[in-house]
Amino acid sequence: MQVKEALILAGGLGTRLREAVPDLPKCMAPVNGRPFISFVIRHLAKQGVEHFVFSLGYKSEAFLDFLSGVLPPGTYDIVIEETPLGTGGAIQYASRQCTEPFFVVVNGDSIFQTDLASLADFHFLHNSCCTLALKPMENVDRYGSVETDPTGRITLFREKQFFERGLINGGVYLINKAYLLEKELPEKFSFETDFLQKFYKEGRIFGIPQEGYFIDIGIPEDYQRAQTELTD
């Protein structure tokens, strides 16, 4: 099944990357002469996404000319947070610009090259309301891990700690819009803590491992790694 709509979170302050990129939002940090977010957009477009919703905040003006130069008019919308809403608040606020009953959410400062068609097939096969793309990782302490039962239903979120092998939340979510909005959540909240960790026990949040390339440029070391790994 094709995923036609994507919501890209691009409003973060990027404080840990500020020394390397002092005057730009993290998502606009240059990688081989192109804003990092252009690689995110390109991957989603290749997967069949036709409409983009950008959730912007910090230095939002830096995106405007860039987006008008890479995406045709009518294929994207911009939502600007006047005050930071947290990941959940940003998704909830921007989702009102989404026209499809379900959409994929990704972070503008990371790339997880997921197969969106297989993610959607899994989502509907299991009657999921929110499906996470999970990345297998080894020897990691930067991320929390996720556990599932044999059907893929999420059974536990573990806090950040060292693990030799496990699945992390890759920051790619397929969400049913109605399920998100019916929760009547506050204006500002964390998607990870106040949505996923709160509602997974209802049994309608699933995860599926994906083996695609993954990078998060949130720290200078990985931003430098992107310079060698991301090319045309």
Kindly report, residue by residue over 78-109, the tens digit of the pLDDT: 999 988 999 999 999 999 999 999 999 999 99
**pLDDT band (50, 70, 90) for residue 154:** very high
CA dist 44 and 108 (Å) reads 11
76: nearest Cα among 87, 86, 66: 66
Kindly report, residue by residue over 45-80, the tens digit of the pLDDT: 999 999 999 999 878 888 888 999 999 999 999 999
**pLDDT band (50, 70, 90) for residue 225:** very high
Whether the predicted pLDDT of 16 surpasses 60 = no
Q: What is the pLDDT of residue 173?
A: 98
Whether the predicted pLDDT of 25 surpasses 60 = yes
pLDDT (mean) for 176-187: 95
Tokens representing residue 228 in the block: 């060698």
> In Å, what is the CA distance from 62 to each residue of 10, 11, 65, 165?
11, 11, 7, 39
CA dist 172 and 9 (Å) reads 11
pLDDT (mean) for 104-115: 96
Q: What is the pLDDT of residue 162?
A: 81
The helix (H) or strand (E) run that includes residue 197 is helix 197-199
- Indicate the domain borders of the chain: 5-132+171-189+211-229
- In this structure, what is the dihedral angle of CA atoms 79, 81, 87, 91, given to the nearest 10 degrees? -30
pLDDT (mean) for 143-155: 94
Q: What is the pLDDT of residue 163?
A: 82
pLDDT (mean) for 6-22: 72
Whether the predicted pLDDT of 203 surpasses 80 = yes
Q: Which residue has the higher pLDDT, 14 or 162?
A: 162
pLDDT (mean) for 144-163: 91
Kindly report, residue by residue over 187-199, the tens digit of the pLDDT: 999 999 999 999 9
CA dist 105 and 90 (Å) reads 11
Average pLDDT of the chain? 92
Q: Which pTM value belongs to this model?
A: 0.93
Quickly name the fold that domain 5-132+171-189+211-229 has. Answer: Spore Coat Polysaccharide Biosynthesis Protein SpsA; Chain A (3.90.550)
